[in-house]
């Protein structure tokens, strides 16, 4: 697949490791100016350095997407430095796991704030930049738990179901402004979160972060005539649907 994103600005949340890092690297290789965002400065600086070290363009901006003030400041910097946004990848996520009867309301609120509220805030600010451009692409990284249920994952599943509702509604709103919105729903990916949530899974059978990144790049390679609502990527050998 040949994809040229020269001149495009792409923002990736949760960019410090795992899926976010892989997406940033793929975007950088395609020529985009990558804005790597996460809470841990050292991680996103390392990702930005990895991209610029191979001739790409990237900057690191620290932000906690669950904090509205951080998101406002992030997009203010984006407008000041670049004046445009072409791609938003909402990848920031955090999982806390346990049975409902033992799960604290504070943990539930935290999971929803990061996974769902953070995606909403970034979508809100991104569309404000993209509407005058009459163009843009928002890709929300959801999960298999966005349509399936697993034990001890009620908060994470509720948040990811919410991401799917946000994606579906925004896709209808945004298309009138020339903006496309899609969701990518991976199954088990070899990340720190999955190792905690599913210690029963053999790491050798898990998807790799690069598999998700390749799917994102596929979406970005489509002609403007095409709109894809969602892509579910499952582990080969796992139960279909």
The catalytic site residues sit at 156
User: Do residues 27 and 10 lie in contact, with contact meaning Cβ atoms separated by under 8 Å?
Assistant: yes
- The shares of helix, strand and coil residues in the chain, as percent rounded to the nearest 5, are 50, 15, 35
Whole-number Å distance between alpha carbons of 121 and 147 = 22
Q: What backbone phi and psi angles, to 5 degrees, belong to 48?
A: -60, -40
User: Do residues 207 and 189 lie in contact, with contact meaning Cβ atoms separated by under 8 Å?
Assistant: yes
Whole-number Å distance between alpha carbons of 153 and 168 = 22
Task: Please say whether the dihedral angle defined by the alpha carbons of residues 218, 220, 221 and 227, taken in this order, is positive or negative.
Answer: positive
Q: What backbone phi and psi angles, to 5 degrees, belong to 89?
A: -110, 105
User: Do residues 144 and 127 lie in contact, with contact meaning Cβ atoms separated by under 8 Å?
Assistant: no
Determine how many CB atoms are found less than 10 A away from the CB of residue 200.
5
Q: Packing angle between helix 209-221 and helix 18-29, nearest 10 degrees?
A: 40
């Amino acid at each position: 697949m040949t994809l040229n994103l020269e001149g495009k600005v792409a923002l990736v949340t949760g960019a410090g490791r795992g899926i976010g890092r892989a997406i940033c690297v793929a975007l950088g290789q395609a020529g985009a100016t990558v804005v790597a965002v996460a809470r841990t400065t050292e991680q996103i600086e390392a990702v930005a350095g990895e991209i610029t070290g191979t001739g790409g363009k990237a900057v690191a901006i620290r932000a906690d997407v669950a904090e509205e003030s951080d998101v406002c400041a992030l997009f203010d910097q984006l407008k000041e430095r670049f004046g445009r946004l072409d791609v938003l990848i909402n990848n920031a996520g955090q999982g806390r796991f346990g049975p409902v009867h033992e799960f604290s309301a504070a943990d539930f609120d935290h999971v929803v704030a990061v996974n769902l509220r953070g995606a909403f805030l970034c979508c809100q600010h991104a569309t404000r930049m993209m509407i005058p451009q009459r163009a843009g692409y928002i890709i929300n990284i959801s999960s298999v738990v966005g349509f399936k249920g697993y034990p001890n994952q009620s908060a994470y599943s509720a948040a990811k179901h919410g991401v799917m509702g946000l994606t579906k509604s925004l896709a209808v709103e945004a298309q009138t402004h020339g903006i496309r919105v899609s969701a990518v729903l991976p199954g088990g990916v070899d990340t720190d979160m999955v190792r905690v949530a599913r210690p029963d899974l053999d790491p050798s059978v898990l998807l790799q972060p690069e598999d998700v990144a390749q799917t994102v790049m596929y979406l970005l390679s489509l002609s403007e005539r095409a709109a894809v609502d969602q892509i579910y990527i499952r582990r080969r050998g796992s139960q279909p649907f």
